[in-house]
Amino acid sequence: MNIETHARVGPGPNLRHVARPSKFIGAAALLMLPAFALAGEATTPVKANSAEQTKLQGEASQQIRIDRRTPGYWRVTFDNPPFNIFGPENIPQLEKVISAIETDPKLKVVVFDSAVPGFFLTHYNFTPPLADSTGLPPGPTGLHPLPDMLVRLSKSPVVSISLIRGRATGVGSELALASDMRFASREKAILSQWEVGAGLVPGGGPMARLPRLMGRGRALEVLLGADDIDGDLAERYGYVNRSLPDDQLDGFVDALALRISGFDRQAIADTKRLVDFASLPSDPEIGAGWDAFITSVQRPVAQAKIGKLMELGLQTNADVEGRLAHYTQSLADK
């Protein structure tokens, strides 16, 4: 299929409030800073003028792309290698995407996917200070920007589909749950809410959404077991609509999205709105999860567990990111 336009969504304006520095993961975060600084120096062109540097830095930070395949059908692609980690630095970019979805008069279907092999979208970034997250102003719903955007995605008149290939962990799972439909690679999809294994409470609303999809017992198994769920089990539990052979996943989702995009926009929006009445959690239910996450991340037990995971290679080591359930199990109280 020919792509009519290809737009990149870069970072928006700095929305952070001025705040006193606040630790997020304590000493472990400080230990990570030199590595990030060196990486930045290695990628900065030495002889570029300031205008060239600004352009290059902007291109490097464009981690969420929009492909406008037709006026009624978009692909939104996460491209933040090596692990598609999501943090406060990505919130302005996603806000632009969600706003575009809400306001485009011709859009009917949006599909979320990933350009990073092995990772759909993963957990929250634990390197920035906590103030970078808590200092952000609330979104239009009155919630913190991350749960705000997930709520708005669910309530948008546009149909949202998550195409899950690789890990959908933490924020990735929560974005998939906020989407209207989820389709997973049978061989390559892994979904998880890993947070309890690290002494945290999930922040993006899975406690409100999962019981509605799979029932209370299975939701508690996913949330409290904090283990990996493969594509087939995710389908059996209702975590995803279907798991498909990996070589059929793209074709199936593309065909479904194109089919829906050919229907009347008002009929789609009205039907979705009525389903929302019967199925979506309230905004306060979603907001309570974020508040619990921010409280939990400051507890000594969570600080210690996240610090240990960072020492083991969280956010830097492919084995840790790829086998997060194994590493959180290694931190379990004996």
pLDDT in tens, 90-108: 999 999 999 999 999 999 9
Note whether 294 and 24 are within 8 A (CB): no
Please report the pLDDT score of residue 270 as a whole number: 98
| % of the chain exceeding 70 in pLDDT | 81
Alpha helices in the chain (DSSP H): 27-43, 50-60, 91-103, 131-134, 145-155, 171-178, 206-214, 216-225, 231-237, 246-261, 265-279, 283-297, 300-312, 318-322, 324-330
pLDDT (0 to 100) of residue 62 = 82
Question: Residue 61 — very low, low, confident or very high, per pLDDT cuts 50/70/90?
Answer: low
| pLDDT reading at 78 higher than 80 | yes
Q: Which residue has the tokens 């389908």?
A: 235
Cα–Cα dist 157/122, whole Å: 26
Q: Which residues of 154-174 are buried (b: 16+ CB within 10 A; e: fewer)?
A: bebbbbbbbbbbbbbbbbbbb
pLDDT of 225 > 60? The answer is yes
List, for residues 119-159, the tens digit of each pLDDT value: 999 999 999 999 999 999 999 999 999 999 999 999 999 99
On the question of pLDDT at 320 being above 70, the answer is yes
Residue 17 has a pLDDT of 31
Return the higher-pLDDT residue of 112 and 40: 112
Question: Token pair 């059908």 is at which residue?
Answer: 73
Considering the entire predicted model, what is its pTM? 0.83
For residue 120, give every residue at least 6 positions away whose Cβ sits within 8 Å of its Cβ, in sequence order, or none. 78, 84, 113, 114, 162, 164, 165, 166, 167, 168, 172, 176, 189
* CA distances in angstroms from 166 to 83, 117, 218, 316, 317, listed in the order given: 10, 7, 22, 17, 16
Question: Over 50: is that where the pLDDT of 233 sits?
Answer: yes
**Residue 282 above 80 pLDDT?**
yes
Q: Once rounded to an integer, what is the mean pLDDT over residues 237-250?
A: 98
Backbone phi, psi, residue 320, to 5°: -65, -45
pLDDT value of residue 333? 78
CA distance 188 to 243: 10
96 token code pair: 């632009």
In the predicted structure, residue 33 carries a pLDDT above the cut 60: no
- Rounded CA-CA distance 279/264 in Å is 23
DSSP codes joined into one string, 239-251: SSSEEE-HHHHHH
What residue ranges do the domains of the chain occupy? 5-330
The number of beta carbons lying within 10 Å of the beta carbon of residue 29 is 18
Assigned architecture for domain 5-330: Alpha-Beta Complex (3.90)
pLDDT score of 259 more than 50: yes
What mean pLDDT, rounded, does the chain reach?
86
* Residue-wise DSSP of 18-39: P-----SSTHHHHHHHHHHHHH
Is 219 within 8 Å of 238 (Cβ atoms)? no
What pLDDT, on the 0 to 100 scale, is given for residue 107?
98
Q: How many CA atoms lie within 13 A of 41 on its CB side?
A: 6
Checking phi first, is residue 184 left (phi over 0); if not, alpha (psi -120 to 50) or beta?
A: beta
CA distance 217 to 220: 5
At residue 322, the pLDDT reads 96
- Whether the per-residue pLDDT at 3 is higher than 90: the answer is no
Q: Higher-confidence residue: 37 or 248?
A: 248
Strand partners, 190: 167, 230
Percentage of the chain lying above the pLDDT 90 cut: 80
Average pLDDT of the residues in 76-86: 98
Residues 268-287 have a mean pLDDT of 97
pLDDT at 334: 61
> What tens digit of pLDDT does each residue of 181-203 get?
999 999 999 999 999 999 999 99
CA distances from 103 to 96, 246, 296, 330 (A): 11, 33, 35, 46
Residue 64 DSSP symbol: E
Asked if residue 46 has pLDDT above 70, the reply is no
Whose structure tokens read 């939701």?
Answer: 219
Angle, helix 283-297 to helix 145-155, in steps of 10 degrees: 150
Give the per-residue pLDDT at 158: 98
Whether the CB-CB separation of 327 and 312 falls below 8 Å is answered with: yes
